[in-house]
Structure 1
């Protein structure tokens, strides 16, 4: 597999990143990457996260591949330094920065952009005392700030930032804070290998945390054995969610992301061969256009720098293709189920748990299951057990179904609201050998939009008392836009049944009182999500699967009747 694919895809994003950058040395916003602020002037503060884009530029400057017009260009070097200085000058006095609203003091944006600035500063061997003072000020803030929500990737990023800045400035002042957060990351990792993100397991953000830990493991000598153990478990978990077509993750995860950060797998692959096999399958997906599109103004940077790092540290000797164990892997804490069946009956196929998979893979023997190569003919089902049974189904390496459950437009309280089945909840689940039953209730989608009045209220709050309590405001917004579920007056039963080489999926939806008459439209979509996550709702080729329109069938229902949908996949 060619390493240059990582570089080609990443370098294709550099012109857009340069378009986002104010490149005028005489401009008061020289070095700002938030085009909505400096050019369009449609927002009243610059997003600090945007300054992360210095790192893709610095890496493009150093990436020696054919047809890279940015290699060793002095203008790129100047613009990177300008971006670092703008990050310093646009930060708050305490070193923090904002992302979504003024005086937010966002930990994620502060950590991402600091990491990018420090790495770029060292990569280009810059010498600037103002930048160094800024690095120290922001590291001080990150060391002591505690954010709302359980986001392991942010904790791991902060550990990495403190490690890098401490080494650059040759200080141990953040040793205690760094150790506290490092212990938190290890403590938060579940026995199944995943790291929590808000309400559960998101395999996409998991690969970002894995990358942070792989960087730390590479930097530390001697290596912490607990760090290596955490990485082994993390790689094993990731291997479950690299799909046979090379795509990764999706709407069945807690944060609905298709994120995949390949550099951590190249780093861990020096001593965990399975990590390289995961990357190889992902590269096949890249080659076939299966990667999601992250080329919007806010998130274009993350994968660009990570792809360039993966190119830089690519290991030439690659392992055999990743085997795909047949059977059932049930991650009970994560509420995720992966089932692989052969298209023809194989006598030794059986049921296994995630821990057994790990143990058996270490011994290269799997007496209760059968491992076959990625070229084999398999039916693969990925199901979220706490999101109503949201699923993806692959047959012979091709996506044949992606299902984000029932979605109804309902007249409710004088408004048109959206009732959905894909919100995280405590659904009732029954799992037998060839049958899965999930019983739950639809919830009201989180579809709040900003209005001029709401924007004025938020600005007024943040410019007065809210600026002193940004974490409280963030917690309130998280509850409004991300976490929690408000029940809608519809309940469902979803049944998966394996018969004769096919999955038979039966859905039954029940309405309380006279709710059928209030339904305006109904359907099942392949990519409907309804919580706010910055890295979700990106386009991926699997989303071309058609919408299943059920509106006419709902219109025929009377009180007491249920909507039933049967599919053979």
Structure 2
């Protein structure tokens, strides 16, 4: 059955998750999933997010699938219990946890790992007052914590945690917090259907928010939530590519994320949602899924895939072919254009970063101009893919974007930087973790500092093909030492971005020789027919 693709993909990750786990019952870190902490000893605190990995194990234990060696294995349940108890042991006294630096008190890590703990507890039918006390403590902290930055998926996760725990404990303790947080989630949804993720629309994280809201609706069906889900699902449907891949570098957070569970739940009362998963399954079957098998993010998709397998809707409508149309999401500043066997996915807010498909195959992935520029003793990177309010002109057969390149965010940690961060967090910073988080977000994620290069990108539909004309002007070319256009270049810090996907096998368009031949007042012009 095609639904088994979800189980096969997810269960293939379980051995690595178990490798990340300290499985020694006599170890002081028994149940810890942060191998860098308990085994390699190269960091000085465990990441609280890692304890989310209890949920993939609990679901693997419950998944009655022919080739599942973990099904109903008693030791797997023991490891899940150890993981939940280690999450409690490694938390701060207020129930919060850290992710990237000490005393961070990370809302996302706390929410993901709490959801995993509660879900595992319910899936396995556990009974432990110690675990319930821990869940309550963390839920209390999440109910009153507001993190910096607008990440709707985190807020939806918190609502789901509070809803599940309220039902488990049969309490109305968090009713007010649930209502306020859900109202916040709904207020962060644009009329076009997308939820705010930092600087705009990210379809990948949209699918995670849908997954959470679909569970909440299943437990507490309210008309406003249903209306929100309908708009959110319709928006997500735009971004399933014809080869079954999803999202990419043209989105606000550069992710290929796809969380299928919510579409199965919504599909029970909105059958069109099932077509989204069916299209994605085509890509999964043909190797188009990205790789998320690193130590920090392997868990998210694993548990969501297993839930999608568990709740798969067997009777499904026939997937209808796409119709030719131009979809202009003016608030999201994105365009999807489908015509004559081509599909274009274009980010106006990122200078014209795009993916182009022909006959259901990716033929171009373009993340705009990139220059290496020598300034003093440093080499800086000027790029065209940073989010900004570019000047755009949109017609049916012609699209024009103008603006300036921006300096890529290339801040790296050094021993001195890490020492300073530790000293700050171990002293005054521990009392103001959200301020530190906000400062790091400004340094690593949001905002654009203009570089002294002006670009225009023109896309014209002529004779059944897209003609791309790029023009780049500079005050001087003397300091430019390399230039090109890449297929997957990004430069802001997003945990789930920069994963490998087969479409990234496209080569780099090296423009260095052409730049080095330019006179001081010349413009670099690149013309392509795709």
Calculate the TM-score normalised by the size of structure 2: 0.99
- Is structure 2 residue 523 aligned with structure 1 residue 525? no
Residue aligning to 2:178: 178
Larger CA deviation: 472-481 vs 160-169: 160-169
Q: Distance in 2 between matches of 1:247 and 1:467?
A: 41
Match for residue 279 of structure 1 among 273, 277, 291: 277
Residue aligning to 1:385: 348
1:31-60 Cα offsets, whole Å, 9 max, x none, are 000000000000000000000000000000
In the TM superposition, residue 506 of structure 1 has moved relative to its aligned partner by 0.2
5+ long unaligned stretches in structure 2: none
Residue aligning to 2:399: 436
In the TM superposition, residue 412 of structure 1 has moved relative to its aligned partner by 1.4
Q: How many residues align?
A: 530
1:202-246 Cα offsets, whole Å, 9 max, x none, are 0000000011110011111xx201111111101100110000000
1:372-393 Cα offsets, whole Å, 9 max, x none, are xxxxxx1000000010100000
In the TM superposition, residue 494 of structure 1 has moved relative to its aligned partner by 0.2
Secondary structure of the equivalent of 2:362?
strand
In the TM superposition, residue 321 of structure 1 has moved relative to its aligned partner by 1.2
Residue aligning to 2:420: 457
Residue aligning to 1:224: 222
Q: Distance in 2 between matches of 1:15 and 1:457?
A: 37
Where in structure 2 are the equivalents of 1:82-481 lying within 5 Å? 82-220=82-220, 223-342=221-340, 378-481=341-444
Residue aligning to 1:78: 78
Secondary structure of the equivalent of 1:98?
coil
Q: Distance in 1 between matches of 2:500 and 2:157?
A: 26
Q: Distance in 1 between matches of 2:454 and 2:181?
A: 41
Q: Distance in 1 between matches of 2:484 and 2:235?
A: 32
Secondary structure of the equivalent of 1:493?
strand
RMSD of equivalent CA atoms: 0.6
Q: Distance in 2 between matches of 1:207 and 1:150?
A: 16
Secondary structure of the equivalent of 1:522?
strand
Q: Distance in 2 between matches of 1:58 and 1:458?
A: 36
Q: Distance in 1 between matches of 2:320 and 2:134?
A: 44
Q: Distance in 1 between matches of 2:339 and 2:289?
A: 25
Q: Distance in 1 between matches of 2:380 and 2:320?
A: 44
In the TM superposition, residue 414 of structure 1 has moved relative to its aligned partner by 2.2
Q: Distance in 1 between matches of 2:146 and 2:311?
A: 33
Secondary structure of the equivalent of 1:517?
coil
In the TM superposition, residue 273 of structure 1 has moved relative to its aligned partner by 1.3
Residue aligning to 2:26: 26
Q: 1:278·1:322 contact (CA, 8 Å) conserved in 2?
A: no
- Is structure 2 residue 480 aligned with structure 1 residue 535? no
5+ long unaligned stretches in structure 1: 343-377
Residue aligning to 1:347: none
In the TM superposition, residue 552 of structure 1 has moved relative to its aligned partner by 0.2
In the TM superposition, residue 165 of structure 1 has moved relative to its aligned partner by 1.0
In the TM superposition, residue 188 of structure 1 has moved relative to its aligned partner by 1.1
1:534-557 Cα offsets, whole Å, 9 max, x none, are 000000000001100000000000
Residue aligning to 1:557: 518
Larger CA deviation: 316-325 vs 48-57: 316-325
Secondary structure of the equivalent of 1:138?
helix
Larger CA deviation: 448-457 vs 322-331: 322-331
In the TM superposition, residue 270 of structure 1 has moved relative to its aligned partner by 0.5
Residue aligning to 1:497: 460
Where in structure 2 are the equivalents of 1:22-61 lying within 5 Å? 22-61=22-61
1:96-140 Cα offsets, whole Å, 9 max, x none, are 000000000000000000000000011111111111100000000
Q: Distance in 2 between matches of 1:341 and 1:29?
A: 57
- Is structure 2 residue 5 aligned with structure 1 residue 5? yes
In the TM superposition, residue 325 of structure 1 has moved relative to its aligned partner by 2.3
In the TM superposition, residue 272 of structure 1 has moved relative to its aligned partner by 1.1
Q: 1:281·1:322 contact (CA, 8 Å) conserved in 2?
A: no
In the TM superposition, residue 169 of structure 1 has moved relative to its aligned partner by 1.2
| Residues 52, 322 of structure 1: alpha-carbon distance in 2 compared, 3 angstrom cutoff | farther
Q: 1:410·1:518 contact (CA, 8 Å) conserved in 2?
A: yes
In the TM superposition, residue 433 of structure 1 has moved relative to its aligned partner by 2.0
Q: Distance in 1 between matches of 2:481 and 2:317?
A: 53
Secondary structure of the equivalent of 1:386?
helix
In the TM superposition, residue 322 of structure 1 has moved relative to its aligned partner by 3.7
Q: 1:205·1:259 contact (CA, 8 Å) conserved in 2?
A: yes
In the TM superposition, residue 320 of structure 1 has moved relative to its aligned partner by 1.2
Secondary structure of the equivalent of 2:112?
helix
Secondary structure of the equivalent of 1:218?
helix
Q: Distance in 1 between matches of 2:376 and 2:136?
A: 52
Q: Distance in 1 between matches of 2:130 and 2:106?
A: 22
1:180-202 Cα offsets, whole Å, 9 max, x none, are 01011111111100000000000
Larger CA deviation: 269-278 vs 288-297: 269-278
Q: Distance in 1 between matches of 2:272 and 2:412?
A: 43
Secondary structure of the equivalent of 2:326?
strand
